[in-house]
Amino acid sequence: MYDYTIIGGGIAGLGTALAVGKKYPNARLLVLEKEESLAQHQTGRNSGVIHSGIYYKPGSLKATFAKEGNRSMIRFCREYGIKHEVCGKVIVATKASELSLLEGLLQRGLDHELAVARLTPEQVQEIEPHVRCVGGIKVPTTGIVNYREVATKYVELIKSRGGVVRTGAHVDRAREVNGIQVIETSHGEFETGFIINCAGLFSDRVSRFCGLDPGMRIVPFRGEYYELIPERRHLVKNLVYPVPNPNFPFLGVHFTRMTDGSIHAGPNAVLAFKREGYRRTDINCTDLFETLTFSGFWKLARKHYRDGIMEMVRSLSKQAFVKSLQQLVPEVTEDDLVPTNSGVRAQALMPDGKLVDDFLIVKGTNSIHACNVPSPAATASIEIGRFIANHLPEVTLGRRRDSRLPVTVNPTRTGIGRELSSQAPSHLSCQSAIL
């Protein structure tokens, strides 16, 4: 019998559990994770970058949470001795036609009050001697960390404060019985007052079986990486990024130094035929059927088929992948790179074919759903957790049950001031809904 149950043991779920435990120290808290160990999916398969927030639209949750998250993540790593480095990154234009986009990005960085600086090609080479470009930007607050290590520390803290973390518990369904949420899992049933859905690649399905349809569908995009062989690691010192495509900032392969000293190149973005499909050959008929029968997918595909084809070519041909990397570092050759672990992004797509740009967190009656928390959600996990915790009602179901007192869910403590029915989900990514 729990007050709050979090579905999903990735960094968003664990960050939320930590924040809920802080806000309601006496609450009975449960985290349910389907895998035998935590952080196996997006959290354990990403670039390990502590983002600065430079890319995101001013006023968006992504911009606010990335900027604040950058600081809180670095503070957290310092406090708990987690290996990390604030090494900064360079974003470079490799053709004259990209200079105006670079200038726009510099301005956005300044608008975000980041200590960004314009760099001449020579200044870029002082930082990254093997990079060739026509101009660049230095973003000094970007860092690197291993998010699995961060997630492990979150779990330690959750448990030390009395939270329960159950692995190997696949949540199949949820139903409401007399105001109590009954969660059916592969490990039996759990009763709870409130459900927090942080199921990443399955957040849409979990929200639907909780009785809330946020309209979006998760479309999985695999990001494939190569890594530089040890003898060629000297080609890149820290992080080197191209100017992003304004329509798809997550497209465009880049170089990232990991905390273990390896240098990763990637990721690309190709449609995955399975939500947790890390290899090209991984197919799940249900997942694929859902994608292919979703009108939003075809609208997106029709509009952006050129980008999609380019990404597929880069996936199938190492030569094409390396060609993109050579635009940044011309000395890189095919022999310098070996494939390494890929990740799959949980990207929400709307029926009109628009990718959900911002974080999307939706509230139902006795549940809240992190429907779209792709990059930079690992950076922002402390802020996402705090945001969700601040929008929860105070639930005392588990504690009251134990002491045989009446069960309560107090909606006046939500921070929104009212409870919303499951038929009218409240999109908390929209500022007006919060106020």
Ligand X SMILES: Cc1cc2nc3c(=O)[nH]c(=O)nc-3n(C[C@H](O)[C@H](O)[C@H](O)COP(=O)(O)OP(=O)(O)OC[C@H]3O[C@@H](n4cnc5c(N)ncnc54)[C@H](O)[C@@H]3O)c2cc1C
Binding site for ligand X (CB under 6 A): 7-13, 32-35, 40-43, 45-49, 51, 170-171, 198-202, 206, 223, 267, 343-345, 373-379
d(CA 290, CA 298): 12
b/e sequence 213-249, b meaning 16+ C-beta within 10 Å: ebbbbbbbbbbbbbbbeeebeebbbbbbbbbbeeeeb
| Closest distance of CB 172 from ligand X, Å | 7
d(CA 289, CA 279): 18
Instruction: Name which of 361 and 401 has its Cβ closer to ligand X.
Output: 361
| Closest distance of CB 127 from ligand X, Å | 20
Instruction: Name which of 135 and 267 has its Cβ closer to ligand X.
Output: 267
> The dihedral of CA 56, 59, 62, 63: what is its sign?
positive
Residue partners of 123: CB distance under 8 A and separation at least 6: 136, 138
| Closest distance of CB 304 from ligand X, Å | 19
Instruction: Name which of 374 and 425 has its Cβ closer to ligand X.
Output: 374
| Closest distance of CB 374 from ligand X, Å | 5
Residue with the CB atom nearest ligand X in the bound state: 10
What phi and psi values does residue 209 have, to the nearest 5 degrees? -75, -10
d(CA 280, CA 183): 34
| Closest distance of CB 238 from ligand X, Å | 13
| Closest distance of CB 414 from ligand X, Å | 22
Instruction: Name which of 363 and 401 has its Cβ closer to ligand X.
Output: 363
Instruction: Name which of 272 and 392 has its Cβ closer to ligand X.
Output: 272
| Closest distance of CB 427 from ligand X, Å | 17
d(CA 256, CA 328): 12
d(CA 178, CA 199): 25
**Cis link prior to 376 (omega < 30° from 0)?**
yes
Based on its alpha-carbon atoms, the radius of gyration of the chain, rounded to whole angstroms, reads 22
Instruction: Name which of 17 and 135 has its Cβ closer to ligand X.
Output: 17
Instruction: Name which of 212 and 399 has its Cβ closer to ligand X.
Output: 212
